[in-house]
């Protein structure tokens, strides 16, 4: 390598800069999340975004948060439905209860802090998470590393907002 006045030549500096940049990009980039699919039969619908499978597994829908049907008061659950909570639960029940669902689960973070399986839920070609948002029965709740369907879920919410459906309407049920 040729040196002029104690400095490496321009090519060597450029080579080092490119190598440093590539290393930085490699370390900062996330590998695509690995998802796996599983099936189960929905035994019970808890609310708009939570169900129990026939094997007892609790499943929390990814990318969506629907109004709550109940709240915790002094360590007990109390029935106290928020606006549109019953509608979200009713639609969810119509679409999934007693049916075989396909769950897409992120291998990097399959459960939440309560032990519920986190999943995108499908019945045939119906993407339940997206359909609830399209009906205006929830808000997007997008948390990394669960990003597979973020674009679809954002579009569904925007569609419901524009049409003033459900929680986006001026009136309460």
Domain range list for the chain: 1-30, 35-168
Residue 72's pLDDT band (boundaries 50, 70, 90)? Answer: confident
d(CA 134, CA 119): 18
pLDDT, averaged across the chain: 87
The CATH number of domain 35-168 is 3.20.130.10:
no
Identified catalytic residue from 60, 87, 134, 139: 60
Q: What is the mean pLDDT of residues 37-48?
A: 97
pLDDT for 8 equals 55
Q: pLDDT > 70: what percent of the chain?
A: 80
Nearest to 52 by CA among 106, 3, 114, 107: 114
pLDDT for 28 equals 46
Q: What is the mean pLDDT of residues 91-95?
A: 98
pLDDT for 54 equals 98
pLDDT for 161 equals 96
Instruction: Decide: pTM greater than 0.85.
Output: no
60 DSSP assignment: E
Identified catalytic residue from 104, 116, 130, 134: 116
pLDDT for 157 equals 98
pLDDT for 52 equals 98
User: Which uninterrupted H or E stretch holds 39?
Assistant: strand 35-45
User: Is 116 assigned a catalytic role?
Assistant: yes
User: Is 60 assigned a catalytic role?
Assistant: yes
Q: What HEC string does 70-127 produce?
A: EEEECCEEEECCCCCHHHHHHHHHHHHCCCEEEEEEECCCCECCCCCEEEEEEECCEE
pLDDT in tens, 133-160: 999 999 999 999 999 999 999 999 999 9
Neighbours of 107 (CB within 10 A): 10
User: Which uninterrupted H or E stretch holds 38?
Assistant: strand 35-45
173 DSSP assignment: -
Q: How far from 51 is each of 33, 99, 158, CA to CA, in Å?
A: 24, 12, 25
Residue 26's pLDDT band (boundaries 50, 70, 90)? Answer: very low
User: Is 111 assigned a catalytic role?
Assistant: no
pLDDT for 171 equals 74
pLDDT for 27 equals 42
The strand pairing partners of 41, in sequence order, are 100
pLDDT for 77 equals 86
Q: When comparing pLDDT for 103 and 27, which is higher?
A: 103
d(CA 119, CA 60): 6
d(CA 62, CA 140): 9
Identified catalytic residue from 68, 97, 111, 152: 68
């Amino acid at each position: 390598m040729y040196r002029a006045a104690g400095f490496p030549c321009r090519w060597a500096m450029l080579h080092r800069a490119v190598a440093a940049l590539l290393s930085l990009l490699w370390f900062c980039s996330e590998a695509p999340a690995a998802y796996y699919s599983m099936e189960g039969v929905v035994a019970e619908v808890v609310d708009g975004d939570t169900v129990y499978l026939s094997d007892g597994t609790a499943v929390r829908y990814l990318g969506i948060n629907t109004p709550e049907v109940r709240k915790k008061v002094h360590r007990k659950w109390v029935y106290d439905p928020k606006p549109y909570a019953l509608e979200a639960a009713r639609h969810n029940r119509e679409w999934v209860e007693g049916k075989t669902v396909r769950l897409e689960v992120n291998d990097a973070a399959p459960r939440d802090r309560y032990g519920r399986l986190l999943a995108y839920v499908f019945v045939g070609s119906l993407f339940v998470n997206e359909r609830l948002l399209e009906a205006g029965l929830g808000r997007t709740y997008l948390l990394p590393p669960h990003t597979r369907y973020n674009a679809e879920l954002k579009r569904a919410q925007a569609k419901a907002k524009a049409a003033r459906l459900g929680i986006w309407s001026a009136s309460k049920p």
